[in-house]
Amino acid sequence: MQPVQAAYPLTRFRRLRRTAALRALTQETTLAVADLIWPVFLCDGEGQRQPVVSMPGVERRSLDLVVEAAAEASDLGIPVVCLFPYTDPGLKTPGCEEAWNPDNLTNRAIRAIKSQVPDIAVMTDVALDPYNAHGHDGLVVDGVILNDETVEALVRMALAQADAGADILGPSDMMDGRIGAMRRALEAAGHKDVAILSYAAKYASAFYGPFRDAVGATGALKGDKKTYQMNPANRDEALRLVARDLAEGADMVMVKPGMPYLDICARVKETFGAPTFAYQVSGEYAMLKAAAQNGWLDGEKAMLESLMAFKRAGCDGILTYFAPEVARLLRRG
């Protein structure tokens, strides 16, 4: 559609920028609390808060405090919390068996939250890296990340999380064929209403470092993840991956990281029209927080502007560590 407008001075764009009321009236994009998913890190124990040094303001919480965080999120109107576990290194094995243990940290947290904060949706991470002695998202043999064997393990993990009461599964592993395998297994097990938010376009990014600190995967990781995560130089491949995951039964899709990949977010939404999310990842969060703490940025304004950019690019929602802070600001108006 070609816009029609009179020539200057009959058209003056500044007329509609003159006051806050006029700017609000003509604002094209809005950010709401309902657009937010809050990633929360878990640790074992009781009454435990463990700061993540590379992510100022973020901490791992024991189960009792994770339930409190979920209640806080619900009170703020945040619709979803997403759980990421810090697994005891003694439970990490080459076979990743703890990933589908019904009583692992994530599954206990799901049950606790759904028992005490039933109205909030719980999303999980489906990948083997928190449980893997090698630090990878998949099973490793002789330095090679196995695809089909990993998919079988991920299906077991997904079913255990669905059994525990998860509302949304977030496969973040980037193995080929995992969405179809999970969807078929969920249907066969009677979990027909469990949604899948696929990390469909997940890039092999340098922005994940602080997250790996948070889940304890940094020291374990051997090599890199370039054989299964996407090449940051590729754009068309992202559309092919999204198309595949939707065809295999994903209900929603995600682009990760977020801000450096807003072009991908826009193309995915424009091409497929499916519910599209982005993850404002740990490195993005850490950069903004560090700059704000040093007085180089206005932290609140930069935070809100960054999240508005996701919505402007077409995202239906954002996973962000800023979620509770943003929710409080939006509620204050």
> In this structure, are strands 80-85 and 195-202 parallel, antiparallel, or unpaired?
unpaired
pLDDT digits (tens, 9 = 90+) for 204-257: 999 998 887 777 766 677 789 999 999 999 999 999 999 999 999 999 999 999
Strand-pairing partners, residue 170, are 125
Is 256 catalytic? The answer is yes
| Structural domain count of the chain | 1
Q: State the pLDDT at residue 173.
A: 96
Catalytic residue among 92, 114, 202, 269, which? 202
Statement: residue 139 has pLDDT above 80:
yes
Q: What is the pLDDT of residue 84?
A: 96
CATH of the domain at 251: 3.20.20.70
- Is the pLDDT at 45 greater than 90? The verdict is yes
Residue among 256, 269, 289, 311 flagged as catalytic: 256
326 located within any domain: yes
Give the mean pLDDT of the chain. 96
On the question of pLDDT at 60 being above 70, the answer is yes
Give pTM, 2 decimals. Answer: 0.95
**pLDDT higher than 90, residue 2:** no
| CA 45, chain centre distance (Å) | 25
The answer to whether position 10 is within a domain reads no
At position 235, the amino acid (one-letter code) is R
Q: What is the pLDDT of residue 219?
A: 66
pLDDT at 106: 98
Task: Report residue 145's pLDDT band, with 50, 70 and 90 as the boundaries.
Answer: very high
pLDDT per residue as tens digits for the range 26-42: 999 999 999 999 999 99
Taking the CA atoms of residue 208, residue 136, residue 241 and residue 120 in that order, the dihedral angle to the nearest 10 degrees is -70
Q: Is residue 12 part of a domain?
A: no
Q: Does residue 61 carry a pLDDT above 70?
A: yes
Identify whether the C-beta of residue 321 lies closer than 8 Å to the C-beta of residue 58: yes
Cβ pair 38, 81 in contact under 8 A: yes
pLDDT in the model for residue 217 = 66
Average pLDDT (141-148) is 96
Q: Does residue 175 contact residue 151 with C-beta atoms inside 8 Å?
A: yes
Q: Is residue 269 part of a domain?
A: yes
Q: What is the DSSP string of 268-331?
A: HHHHH-S-EEEEE-HHHHHHHHHHHHTTSS-HHHHHHHHHHHHHHTT-SEEEETTHHHHHHHHH
pLDDT at 3: 80
Structural domain includes residue 22: no
202 is a catalytic site residue:
yes
Please write the tens of the pLDDT for every residue from 279-296. 999 999 999 999 999 999
Label residue 332 by pLDDT band (50, 70, 90): confident
pLDDT for 166 equals 98
Q: What is the DSSP string of 171-206?
A: E-S--TTHHHHHHHHHHHTT-TT-EEEEEEEEB--G
272 assigned to some structural domain: yes
Q: Which residue range forms the structural domain that includes residue 203?
A: 30-332
Residue 43 lies in a domain: yes
Query: Residue 31 and residue 284: Cα distance in Å, rounded?
Result: 18
| pLDDT computed for residue 218 by the predictor | 65
pLDDT above 90 coverage of the chain, percent: 92
Structural contact between residues 178 and 138, judged by C-beta atoms closer than 8 angstroms: no
Predicted local distance difference test score (pLDDT) of residue 4: 87
Q: What's the pLDDT band for 9 if we cut at 50, 70, 90?
A: very high
pLDDT at 68: 98
Position 50 in a domain: yes
